[in-house]
Amino acid sequence: MRWFGPQDPVSLQDIRQAGCTGVVTALHHIPVGDVWPVDEIRKRKKTIEAAGLTWTVIESLPVHENIKKHTGNCEELIENYKLSLRNVAAEGLKVVTYNFMPILDWLRTDTEYELDDGSKALYFERSAFVAFDLFLLKRPNAEKEYSKEEISRASSRFKMMTDAEKENLYRNALLGLPGSDEPFTADQILSALDTYKHIDAKRLKKHLFHFLQQVVPVAEGVGVKLAIHPDDPPYSVLGLPRVVSTEVDLKEIIDAAPSPANGLCFCTGSLGARPSNDLCGMMKRLGDHIHFLHLRNTKRDENGNFYEANHLEGDANMVQIVKETLLLMNRRGTAIPMRPDHGHQMLDDLKKKTYPGYSAIGRLKGLAELRGLELGISDSLQEQLN
């Protein structure tokens, strides 16, 4: 499971009791762009091992905005990233997850979407998001990116909202901002968005390729695997380009810096929110480059809305995905680290404050389901082989 460090209300003991053998985590207290010191890496690793768990996967070693924009002290920041890779490798870490999403790491409009059984999930409502963009953020020329029907639905949706609902929408839409525990003003967000006004998808992809061509040889040299996380959601938001959303994107990323160290964090939730993505087919075709798996499920509708479904439900065929994973690991002769992702808030956790999507019991439920599914499929495959 993912662990957010010593301040995480879900403890290492909780995670071990859930049946996990390890955690994925990061040094969230180190400012983005600074070098991760060996002493801090070692300290975190010792804390985890003292709890009877392992740490081999980093999630995430963030990429500074100046690297994404290829501006300012970009090259200095890339050198810092290289040194961080050397430092984590020296402490025995094997996989480094990162993303290349401009400004916002992820986006949802509701972090407490109540399901029929009373549990709560993360939800992206298209009309609410458009309403946020047009009427709360008031991004210049935003209306050009939406159809008349979308604007009409967003306007109706906005008129129905109470002041408290508008405040919640504003806060939820900006949770993916680094440091977003602190309130951001609309002017601050618009100013950040303005720094990308001359950067389209083609240019952002060029910046990503430059970054990879610099850091991948270092990662390969020290025995670390890089795993890029897909965009979430996997399409443009707030006028920002997205370049890790489709199979074509993933193939171009792999080809930009050919190396066993250059690979993917295959997130079935993020990629699955885009109907055209063939998850099982992508795993077959790109499987040699998958270094880390996020197994989660989403349920979409025809209006562009989606919510985090139970791990074995939703639109992704988790049975086939787990089967493909087992076949892939057998063919490669290696295990692929996996974690359940975005569990529902449920039972006693409904009374607790945790990071959205990362309460303990919902992820425990997802992990139990996935482990049972894996065991059943594994036994079935063994019988077929025998």
Give the chain's mean pLDDT.
Answer: 95
Contact 373, 319 (CB under 8 A): yes
User: What whole-number distance in Å separates Cα of residue 239 and Cα of residue 214?
Assistant: 28
Neighbour-count burial for 250-262, b at 16+ CB within 10 Å, e otherwise: beebbebbebebb
The predicted pLDDT at position 175 comes to 84
The predicted pLDDT at position 182 comes to 63
Backbone torsions φ then ψ of 74, nearest 5 degrees: -50, -50
Choose between 177 and 327: higher pLDDT: 327
Q: For residue 382, name the pLDDT band (cuts at 50, 70, 90).
A: confident
User: What whole-number distance in Å separates Cα of residue 53 and Cα of residue 47?
Assistant: 9
Contact 244, 228 (CB under 8 A): yes
Helices 318-332 & 279-286 angle (0-180, nearest 10): 10
The predicted pLDDT at position 271 comes to 97
User: What whole-number distance in Å separates Cα of residue 86 and Cα of residue 174?
Assistant: 33
Q: What is the largest CA-CA distance in the chain?
A: 65
Query: What's the pTM?
Result: 0.96
User: What whole-number distance in Å separates Cα of residue 297 and Cα of residue 313?
Assistant: 7
3-state secondary structure of 58: strand
Q: What is the DSSP string of 223-242?
A: T-EEEEPPPSSSS-BTTB--
Q: Span 43-57, mean pLDDT?
A: 98
The predicted pLDDT at position 249 comes to 98
> Token pair of 351, please?
């009374």
Res 181 pLDDT > 70? no
**Closest listed residue to residue 293, CA positions, set 264, 251, 328, 257:** 264
Res 89 pLDDT > 70? yes
The predicted pLDDT at position 238 comes to 95
User: What whole-number distance in Å separates Cα of residue 324 and Cα of residue 91?
Assistant: 32
3-state secondary structure of 207: helix
How many other β-carbons are positioned within 10 Å of the β-carbon of residue 352?
12
Contact 101, 231 (CB under 8 A): yes
The residues carrying an active-site annotation are: 229, 267, 294, 341-342, 358
Burial of 132 per CB tally in 10 Å (0-12, 13-18, 19+): buried
The predicted pLDDT at position 319 comes to 97
3-state secondary structure of 262: strand
Q: Span 211-239, mean pLDDT?
A: 97
Each residue's pLDDT tens digit, 230-267: 999 999 999 999 999 999 999 999 999 999 999 999 99
Q: For residue 96, name the pLDDT band (cuts at 50, 70, 90).
A: very high
- CA 117 to chain CA centroid, Å, is 26
**Closest listed residue to residue 57, CA positions, set 25, 15, 104:** 25
Each residue's pLDDT tens digit, 100-148: 999 988 899 999 999 999 999 999 999 999 999 999 999 999 999 999 9
Neighbour-count burial for 141-151, b at 16+ CB within 10 Å, e otherwise: ebeebbeeebb
The predicted pLDDT at position 208 comes to 98
Q: Span 280-293, mean pLDDT?
A: 97
Question: Helices in the chain by DSSP H: which ranges?
Answer: 12-17, 38-50, 65-69, 74-90, 126-131, 148-160, 163-173, 186-194, 201-222, 247-256, 268-272, 279-286, 318-332, 360-385
> Percentage of the chain surpassing pLDDT 70?
98
DSSP-derived secondary structure letter, 107: -
The predicted pLDDT at position 105 comes to 87
Q: Span 9-21, mean pLDDT?
A: 96
Q: Span 326-353, mean pLDDT?
A: 95
The predicted pLDDT at position 183 comes to 62
